[in-house]
Structure 1
Amino acid sequence: MGRPDSLKRRTISGMLWSFADLMGNQGMQFIIQIILARMLLPEHFGLIGMILVFVAVSNSIIDSGFTQALVREQHADQTDYSTVFYFNFAVSVCIYILLYLAAPAISEFYGQSQLILIIRVLSLGIIVNAFAIVPRAMYTKEVDFKVQMQANLSASILSGIVAIGMAFAGLGVWSLVGRTLAMNGTQTLFLLIKKKWLPSLEFSGKSFRRLFGFGWKLLLSGIIDTVFNNIYYLIIGKQYSAAQLGYYTNASRFSDIATQTLTSSIARVSYPVLSSIQDEQLRLKQSYRQLMKVTGYMVFPVLAGLAAIGEPLVRLVFGEQWVPMTLYFQLLCIAGMLYPIHAINLSILQVKGRSDLFLYLEILKTAVFSVLIVAAIWLDTGILGLIAAVIINSYLSLFINTFFSAREIAYSISEQIKDLAPIYVLALSMSFAVFAAGRILALHELGELAIQISMGVLFYLAGSKILRLQELPLVYQLMLPVVKKITPVK
């Protein structure tokens, strides 16, 4: 077993590369999204939003929980990897055929005839993605996110060029389809070439049963989670106009840049690292607790701050035609504050091999979320009511997740709340102060944002000092080696 300092270095290095990967990828996609938002109409984004749930669920099925199973498997071999590859490929082809045949019915459901061809072309990316699952699992298992960063950034740049070129040529919604396919193809090709891995001509039933025995519960959990994370695209697309769905789609993607970047960078690293010490209970709890506190300290102020500066940010970035998405964006940021904490709590269940409990939790949370969605629709609260249901569900889910994860690692709900509450209150206080400053200021968006962001940073740092939060010096210690590396030596 590796030494604690070695584990710390692996965690820091992996998290930094993972964060750099997602920041570079999401940052580039954000820039492309801005350009496309100014070239296309909200209706174009709405059309793509109508079929996101089908594509997302399909990709979740193809994974089949095998990625997590391979990462957790300490002695995975070529037979295991080849078995997973052939199964994923076969499933992807079957799903594509089903979506191809179902395209007319989906199109009729939304009353949008042009969706038939869009679905049939866009779904090709599902087959392409199946080729990347094994090499991506290999790199994740090795806590190596440098190559994944290179693959994702290259794909973001190339797909962005393709999309902007198509939009400039007046191809409308097809520029978004072209962007997705170019992204999928570039990522997959890069990972396959860089890893230099090819499957063997073998398929092991024993290997499949062992990996699927762990993964199938995560598969069902993933499908349930994916459906309910994307269910609003279906509901809003059916009940409201394509333009309204376009506003929600862009607001969701805008907030996801921060939420998913932070959540994914932490979850991708925490799972393989914590898995490596899964049998050392005391050390596992200490590492888990520290990870939880540092995560909250970095995540809470970012998302609370984005909610506070939402209006000038949307005006400056997207333009006046997108102002109706502002409130959606702000509320989704508040809901997203807890997502990284959810991810860490769920990671511990996977680390401890409790995929059965993982599935049970997803079913329980789905039942709760379903009640909230039905209530929002029945009360006719509109899109804002649906988003309010997301916020309520996020906070209820925290208690559900922590209740069960606490039993696996002896880190109780009260301990987690005690550790995170001061950070959370400080972040919200900073957010209110920044928002109030924006109401008082009467400046151009750029000047207003500069003052609000500066004020938020100073408020948070000063509050950390006053409250004597231990996470401030810890984050400083973690970042110091990185600063030294990127600072030129004189």
Structure 2
Amino acid sequence: MSNSLKSTATKGIIWSAVDKFAVQMGQFVVSIVLARILLPEDFGLLGMLAIFIALSQTFIESGMGLGLIQRQDRTDIDFSTVFVFNLAVSSLFYLLLFFSAPFIASYFNQPKLIDLTRVLGLNLFVSSLAIVQRTKLTIAMNFKAIAKTNVIGVIIGGITGIIAAMNGFGVWSLVIQTLLGAFATAVSLWFFSHWTPSIAFSRNSFRNLFGFGSKLLFSGLYAQLLTNVYNICIGKYYPISSLGYYTRAKGFADISAGTITSILQQATFPILAAVQNDKEKLISVYSRMIRMSSFFIIPMMTLIALLAKPIVILLLTEKWVAVIPLLQWMVFARIFLPMSAINMNLLNAIGRSDLFLKVDLSKLPLTVLTMIITIPLGVKAMIIGHVVTSGVAFFINAYLPGKYYGYGALAQIKDMIPMFLSTFLMSIFVYFVTSLIDDLLLQLLLGGMAGLFGYIISSYFLKVNELKVLIDYFSF
């Protein structure tokens, strides 16, 4: 990797990391405060709408933003075309949500969902106004500006949401948090991108961009459907509080795995796209990303599972104790998520969104079968089934990179073995320390410290190369 590309990649990943960790930590703090004020049922109500908002958002984006990033000869008319498309589709889907709100409420037997759907749906229109602005900043690898916009959105949304919750707004405080946060982010993106759209629309531009993005659209719809179908099933067949517990467990797991995955997807896609024609550089960047992501994610998710009890009880209080076993399984369902994301990102970076779609669809039979088996068995069984499918999905996602670039699932697992060994030794140390302590706060503090130092020491003696890379980088 050339020095200029390495410097750009490093700065991009660092600022993307600052962005994602700052946003996730902000959202984490806000969610803790809100969870201590609100009831599990309030989170359950909003969880019922997650799939409808997610599917609509996927249609609005349609993979065209990624198409702009991947395209090397993009013009201003391309950006304007995507902006007009996003605006038109967001308006259409808001109307669909508005008029379908009574049917959604009837399905879940929750009349409150009518007004919630119609108000929360406004987020689609607000978010669509800044999709292209975010894309332009991503192409320029200006992740510093993106970080600022996201932090502004989290602060404004979080503060207003907490104030609303303290004043008895209940579930509406979550809606207020979402809408005002999205609005603040959109305004900030317009300010930092220095780009004002025209109303120009080119059919030729749309045809070319949608040709790439359409595969990502169908893949995104499929991914969102499978991700959020659990919400539909739990909300329909189990008490609304069960969905609240599930969304909290998922939220905790996504703080770490989701953050790292978002960093890698945002920062690495333009980097991989930039070297797509240089196979040697592409493989070098790609393999380093796999190793470094596994270096962080494997111990992090394991430590959360080990400390799930003090984390949940201390942060959310005893009323959320049912989250503990769900969280312990959920983190292992996320452990391969960042590496799988890199494998799939590679296909998009080289312009093969058709293969991206085919790989995603190939996982459908296993996922459907697992859901059919586990849904009647309860929420915990559903998450355990997700652990199995996510492990198998990693091997499927790594198949084509292995075929085309010689770095498939087995080679990647081989590179991860030192991380797994270091994590195993860390786990023994953490278990020994926490088993001697009854106080939950001390378990969390000392267990966390034992995990950090245990992993670093184990990695040092096992000569894990990624630790050396980090030490060398921060020693200057």
Identify the TM-score tier after normalising by the shorter chain.
over 0.9
Preserved contact between residue 12 and residue 478 of structure 1 (Cα < 8 Å): no
Structure 1 equivalent of residue 387 of structure 2: 391
Give the distance between the partners of 2:425 and 2:411, measured in 1 at CA.
22
> Is 2:222 aligned against 1:224?
yes
1:72-118: CA deviations, max 9, x gaps?
A: 11221110000000011111111111111111111000000010000
Query: Which residue of the partner structure matches residue 185 of structure 1?
Result: 183
Structure 1 residue ranges, 4+ long, deviating more than 4 angstroms after superposition: none
Task: Write out per-residue CA displacement over residues 150-205 of structure 1, whole angstroms, 9 at most, x where no aligned residue.
Answer: 11111111111111111111110100011110111111111012212111231111
Matched, 1:425 2:447: no
Q: In the alignment, is residue 416 of structure 1 matched against residue 404 of structure 2?
A: no
Query: Does the alignment pair 1:284 with 2:282?
Result: yes
Pick aligned residue for 2:143 from 120, 142, 145? 145
Paired positions, count: 476
Is 2:123 aligned against 1:125?
Answer: yes
Task: Write the letter of the residue equivalent to 1:423.
Answer: M
Asked whether the equivalents of residues 294 and 475 of structure 1 are also in contact (C-alpha less than 8 Å), the reply is no
1:317 aligns with 2:312: no
Identity of aligned residues (%): 35
2:462 to 455, 467, 472: 467
The one-letter amino acid of 2:38's match is L
Map residues 248-263 of structure 1 onto 2, 5 A cutoff: 248-263=246-261
1:301 to 289, 299, 307: 299
Superposed CA offset, 1:295-351 (max 9, x none): 111221111111111111111111111111111112111111111001110011111
Q: What does residue 329 of structure 1 align with?
A: 327
Residue 478 (structure 1) shift: 3.2
Q: Is the CA contact (8 Å cut-off) linking 1:308 and 1:432 kept in structure 2?
A: no
The CA distance in 2 between the partners of 1:480 and 1:47, in whole Å, is 49
- Give 1:452's aligned residue: 447
Q: In the alignment, what sits opposite 1:113?
A: 111
CA deviation after TM superposition for structure 1 residue 436, in Å: 4.7
> What's the offset of the Cα at 1:352?
1.6
Equivalent-residue separation in structure 2 for 1:436 and 1:50 (angstroms):
40
So what's the TM-score if we normalise by structure 2?
0.98
1:353 Cα offset (Å): 1.3
Distance 1:252 1:413, change over 3 A: closer
Answer yes or no: is the 8 Å Cα contact 1:237–1:245 preserved in 2: yes
Find the aligned partners of 1:364 and 1:412 in 2 and give their Cα distance: 17
Please say which of residues 161-170 and 393-402 is displaced more in the overlay: 161-170
Distance 2:35 2:179 in 1: 19
The one-letter amino acid paired with 1:467 is: L
Question: Which moved further from structure 2: 111-120 or 459-468?
Answer: 459-468
Tell me the distance in 1 between the aligned counterparts of 2:168 and 2:408: 56
Would you say the 8 A contact 1:78–1:200 is kept in 2?
no
Residue 265 of structure 2: aligned partner: 267
CA distance in 2, matches of 1:47, 1:185: 22
RMSD of the TM alignment (CA)?
A: 1.3
Structure 2 unaligned residues grouped into runs of 5+: none
TM-score by length of 1: 0.95
The match for 2:473 is 478
Q: Contact 2:425 / 2:458 at 8 angstroms: preserved in 1?
A: no
Matching residue's letter, 2:286 = Y
Q: Does 2:94 correspond to 1:99?
A: no
CA positional deviation for 1:432: 4.7
**Residue 156 to residue 418, structure 1, CA distance change in 2 (3 Å):** same
CA contact 1:303–1:333 (8 Å) conserved in 2: yes
Amino acid at match of 2:290: M
CA contact (8 A) 2:216 2:356 kept: yes
Matches of 1:118 and 1:22, distance apart in 2: 28
The aligned amino acid for 1:457 is L
Q: Which residue identity is paired with 1:476? A: I
Rounded to whole Å, the distance in 2 between the matches of 1:477 and 1:58 is 45
Query: Is contact 1:352–1:408 with CA below 8 Å preserved after alignment?
Result: no
Cα distance in structure 2, aligned partners of 1:440 and 1:372 = 39
Q: Contact conserved, 2:62 with 2:214, CA < 8 A, in 1?
A: yes
Q: What CA deviation, in whole Å up to 9, does each residue of 1:195-239 have, x standing for no partner?
A: 121112311111111111111001100110011111111111011
The amino acid of 2:447's aligned partner reads Q
Matched residues in 1 for 2:431 and 2:129: separation?
A: 46
Aligned mates of 1:120, 1:361 — CA distance in 2: 35
Equivalent residue, structure 1, for 2:60: 62
- Offset of residue 428 of structure 1: 3.9
Return closer, same or farther for 1:419/1:134 CA change in 2, 3 Å cut-off. Answer: same
Letter in structure 1 aligned against 2:434? G
Question: Do 1:71 and 1:141's aligned partners in 2 also have CA atoms closer than 8 Å?
Answer: yes
- Alpha-carbon distance in structure 2 between the residues aligned to 1:10 and 1:36: 38
CA contact (8 A) 2:418 2:459 kept: no
| Separation (CA, whole Å) in 2 of partners of 1:381 and 1:475 | 44
